[in-house]
Structure formats: structure tokens, C-alpha cells
Amino acid sequence: MSFTPVLRSEALKVLSLRSLCGTLLALFAVTTAFSALAGVSETSDPGFDPLFMALSGVAPGQIAAIAFGATVVSSEFHGNGIRLSLAAVPRRGRWFAAKLTVAAAATFGTGLLTASAALVAARAGLGSEAAGLTAGEQVRGVVGLAAYFTLMALLAAGLTALFRSGVATLSTLIPFVLVVSFVIGDVAGGATDFLPDKAGQVVIHQTHDGHLGPWTGLGVTALWAGAALLAGARRLRRGDA
């Protein structure tokens, strides 16, 4: 079977599963809502970054992106659905690539819409505080946030294929992005700049310090996601269905 019909079938799976559509809706809702709330908050901090403030819904939004990536893969392991999928598409690499392509496209498209809505909503609240943002910085923030959500979803998808469990992935990644970076930050110093969440979020800052720039930071997150996907693909190729 060629790649196109496999891609079409995987797209139909995503559109037909309410949990996946609901997760993408949650990604949009929580990111936009939290960014809008941040836009009307106090901005007297001398280190105030209007771009990050406008897109600060990234914190809850990344949880939804991780949940989406994990569910895209873990849904195959419910009721041995993966046996049917691999019977229809015996070439496991092709099947996994199609699933990841659909997951990436869905997350990136939703991320672009979400980041645009969040930026508009937050700027309405920030008013003159956001006047210093250039068009280029805003475009970078919108595209960068969409790319960040996509990479975090792919990181979760790769780990789910490796663990063969969405619960294990969520139990690993969510505490990691919510707690670990902050807990070890004071101890590890600049090493936290290379963690997937810290590195990827540089792109939504107007100004940035540290070792990484906006796009190199996303590159580091892409390396984390790529490593997880390679490990997941290896487990899928060698393990039993």
C-alpha cells in the first residue's frame, strides 16, 4: 500500500476520535484563555517581556499538546487496535510515519490558529505595553509557538510508542515540564537551557539570554523529539504488535 492511502486512513482516525478532537480544542481554549488573562494582569515587573506575556498560555497549552501526541499513538494499543492497523499496513515504518505526519499537521495547524488568537486577545489587554512588539517578532512568536506545540506532541508520540502506554508518557512528561525544569534550575544553572521545554520556549520571548536563540532553541527541542521518535520506531519495528 502506498503512503497516500495510509495517510488518509490515519487522518480519518484523528477526525473520528472525539478524544483527539477534544484535546485539540482544549489546546486552543486553554492557551487563548490564559494568554488573555495574562494580558490584563499587572505588568510592572522590570523584566517584563510583552511577547512572552501575550503567549504565556504556552504553559497549559503544552500539556494539551503532549496529551494529543500521546493519545494519537496510545489509542492504537486499546483493544489490540494496532494489530488491525499493522495487518492493513504491514510496513510498520510507513504506518508510523503516516500517523506522525497527521499528528504534526493537526498540531501545527491548531497551533497557528491558537497562537494568533492568543496574541490578539492578550494584546487587547496589554494595550500600549505591547506597542514595542514588531511585526517580525509577532510572526516569530506565532509560528514558533505552533512549532513548539508540534514538537512537544511528537516527543510525546515517540515516548508513547517506546513505552506502549499513554499513561506512562503523561506520567513522565507532564511532571517533567511542570516541575523538573524549575526544581533543578538553580542547581544545574545553564544546563536547563537545553531541556526540551526551556529550549523551545525561547522562541516566544522578545529578548533572550542564555546559550540559545529562538530557532536554535527549537532545534534543541527537535533533537529531543527526534530521539524519542527514533526510539519509538525502533521499539515498534522490533516488538510484537
Question: What's the number of domains the chain is made of?
Answer: 1
φ and ψ at 158, to 5 degrees? -65, -45
Return the pLDDT at 211: 80
> pLDDT by residue (tens digit) across 150-162?
999 999 999 999 9
pTM score, whole prediction? 0.92
Structural domain for 64, as ranges: 3-238
> pLDDT by residue (tens digit) across 180-212?
776 766 555 567 788 999 999 999 998 887 788
Return the pLDDT at 50: 87
Tell me the H-state helices in the chain.
Answer: 3-16, 18-39, 50-54, 58-74, 81-88, 92-126, 135-163, 166-175, 181-183, 185-188, 196-200, 214-238
> Half-sphere exposure of 99 toward its Cβ, with a 13 Å CA cutoff?
32
Return the pLDDT at 240: 59
Q: Of residues 217 and 181, which shows the higher confidence score?
A: 217
Cell numbers given for 186: 538553580
Q: What is the spatial distance between Cα 52 and Cα 202, in angstroms, rounded to a whole number?
A: 9
> pLDDT by residue (tens digit) across 1-32?
688 888 898 898 888 888 899 999 999 999 99
> pLDDT by residue (tens digit) across 34-70?
999 887 775 556 567 889 988 999 999 999 999 999 9
Return the pLDDT at 202: 94
Return the pLDDT at 77: 80
